[in-house]
Structure 1
């Protein structure tokens, strides 16, 4: 077996891998793994240059793989990849560019993603200079702008990659994918000016929902004679991919970092090291399924144990609550292919589907993508939703209302209708799951009044009337 490590964003030194590479080599010598001496490679790429994109890195990675280990792969040997943070999307993009339609030829046997930013990071919107000042994570290094753009929640690039991966069935082609992430916060690295570094449901950089490769896509299109309905035109989800939420793991740092904190002395009991070893030992579909089940049990135990955290301060003991969360990434477009920029989107609940009836604490965070204003990400407390919506008073109702501008009015020549989408708890449970992301595309009809363009054979000059007729064009 050949093993390649791929690091995350704004890394300038390969010590970011901790001593996991050395420990795996030791395990191989002791017979726990079939890795030949010299077959562990530390990959590195440039992520702090503004001109470099994720696509560029994926192409360069392809060249590096063939340039460095091509002779070994000619014998039929495949390689395993262990990634951290942005390294996960990098390798997934490489697979998408070169093997999407031919996974049987992909030389990858295992993809083990540690804290991958598969759906981005809430921190990315803070911008280059602010991120570089969070020295505990970025050591004063500004991340490259294109990489940062990819990582912003709801980016077009991450949407494209994740939509493409809905078609993947890696396990059926002998590629075993795993996501191992944490939800612990290293309070020593917390930045009081940037609350995302201490966000519940994340490891201080990446949310569990954003790391998880089990996600869904829901497409809602406006239909009906008068465009009165939002209709489900597509609903799909990924093939199951093993997810493990590891205890006590944060994104970065020598003390709690999911990979940086691994040493030769602690690796045998370190959750990330021991589970990476078990992942690398998987060779069959049955073994993969069994390990996925074990990781699910581990995730449940971790979230139960880390639900409450008490931190002593000089004055008092502070309580932190971590529930299970869900993330919704909305993509708002119209039937002319335009990305909507000016709109109001409200979540609604209760018997009357009101935006004022949402359970307290249900709504956690909202981010609008800076480069595509038609992308909106909601971060929701799944446990509060489940207990708050599933009551006789609320009747299990949850939905949303969308009003894009310009809206309908007596003066509107081009406009969008206000639309409501209603669902029951049974419907919700089909698409919204704890620790997961759902991508929701909403496509509205852009309605144009006949008065916008008319022809007449009246040759007498008259003032052009801009008053709407009330009849729309097709």
Structure 2
């Protein structure tokens, strides 16, 4: 079967930026001028949504005879995306194939993602009028009146769109990103922007996207504080977890930022090699690529003064699944003797516990972003070098020789006089036990995005049933 390559750009960009990449692919005999396509979308149009982009993309692929009406194709489709293009292609695949029960007809065999914004960008909420000038690492004049507000809403950290999409295509029982269906290769740089653009640099990014948020190895943890209907006896703190089992190749490159990973794709021999390998059909080649990228990522951190990070997205809902906008999270360190294994049963703190609690709370909550559209979503970025260094201090403290735990406390204020949340159940819940190393692998895991859903009981005193009439 013949193949076709489609290049999808990112936010505030266009196909003009990928002319050199297309010509290089032709020179590498990966296609001809008329078999390598560009997919353009007007990302700065305020009324344009991800639904619109996916719909338009599907229509254009049908018009161009790249896919048939039923979703099948006469070609193998190989996709190269940059930045926001990652969200575009993922949403299109889910919307027009998996959601419609025809993933078996999806003609895509390979996706190479260059610095994909799979879990957003810290720039999206920082003055949406200037993000477009920075996404590719270039200054552009004009286009300041419309900034693509709906696209940027989806790109903002901890957006409901990212949360929903992860549940649709990553946290599913039969994922289609694997070596037998759609081979996904993710390449991201670890270099900050230089010069004038450097003022937008944020920890753990390539200048625009969060490195740990480019990966698709998401983890979902749910903590239920909700009392099941019709049940008097229940466990008030119930954890459940789900991990993406997508099989993909992920690599962190030392010498690239968000812009140069495209601009130098044809001149950096190592990057060029990785892109070509990511387009290969052979399963064994893909498996070898995964191993190669693991080694490259490890070397990137060993030879550069960069820390590894983990991104958390917290979402709080009530017992009806409705969003809870106002909540706070605090983290503590206690001696293990003060826990029953699930929660803290003695919260009287010693001087050292208080000091250690302040330090762990600062580490976990150093980078917090509340989503501006739906405030029930919060994003936290944890520096794993700082975390592991702190754990080393705890492990070396003689007063903690019998073990310690890290706990999380959730506070949700009353909505009004008659509506409140059952905060008695929102106790200090253990998230890490020094004697059970698997906990660190479950809650704290470098270079990944961890989704945490907290479910709380909402109560009200505005409803009464009785035999005596009352007045308003």
TM-score under structure 1 length normalisation: 0.82
Structure 1 residues 344-403: Cα deviation after superposition (integer angstroms, max 9, x where no partner): 111333436764141865544110001111100000101221231253246463331100
Structure 1 residue 80: Cα displacement: 0.3
Q: Report what 1:305 is aligned to.
A: 303
User: 212-221 or 414-423, which moves further after superposition?
Assistant: 414-423
Structure 1 residue 206: Cα displacement: 0.2
**Aligned ranges for residues 28-427 of structure 1 at < 5 Å?**
28=29, 33=30, 35-36=31-32, 38-70=34-66, 76-100=74-98, 101-132=101-132, 136-137=137-138, 139-140=140-141, 141-142=143-144, 143-165=147-169, 166-167=171-172, 168-171=175-178, 173-192=180-199, 197-223=200-226, 229-252=236-259, 257-263=260-266, 266-267=267-268, 269=269, 271-284=270-283, 286-307=284-305, 322-351=306-335, 355-358=357-360, 363-390=365-392, 391-392=394-395, 393=397, 395=403, 397-406=405-414, 414-417=420-423, 418-423=426-431, 424=433, 425-427=437-439
**Structure 2: tracts of 5 or more residues without a match:** 336-348
How far apart are the structure 1 equivalents of 2:163 and 2:364? 25
Secondary structure of 1:19's counterpart equals helix
Q: Report what 1:437 is aligned to.
A: 449
Secondary structure of 1:258's counterpart equals helix
Q: Is the 8 A contact 2:76 2:107 kept in 1?
A: yes
Structure 1 residue 339: Cα displacement: 0.9
Q: Is the 8 A contact 2:113 2:185 kept in 1?
A: yes
User: 167-176 or 240-249, which moves further after superposition?
Assistant: 167-176
Secondary structure of 2:64's counterpart equals helix
1:173 and 1:458, CA in 2 relative to 1: closer, same or farther beyond 3 A? same
Q: Is the 8 A contact 2:11 2:132 kept in 1?
A: no
How far apart are the structure 2 equivalents of 1:383 and 1:92? 31
Q: Report what 2:440 is aligned to.
A: 428
1:71 and 1:169, CA in 2 relative to 1: closer, same or farther beyond 3 A? closer
Secondary structure of 2:124's counterpart equals helix
Structure 1 residue 67: Cα displacement: 1.5
**Structure 1: tracts of 5 or more residues without a match:** 308-321, 465-474
How far apart are the structure 2 equivalents of 1:448 and 1:361? 36
Q: Is the 8 A contact 2:192 2:198 kept in 1?
A: no
Structure 1 residues 100-151: Cα deviation after superposition (integer angstroms, max 9, x where no partner): 1332210101111100000111111113224357595462444300000000
Structure 1 residue 200: Cα displacement: 2.9
How far apart are the structure 1 equivalents of 2:148 and 2:156? 12
Aligned length: 425
Structure 1 residue 172: Cα displacement: 5.4
TM-score under structure 2 length normalisation: 0.83
Q: Is the 8 A contact 2:179 2:247 kept in 1?
A: no
Q: Report what 2:11 is aligned to.
A: 9
User: 139-148 or 77-86, which moves further after superposition?
Assistant: 139-148
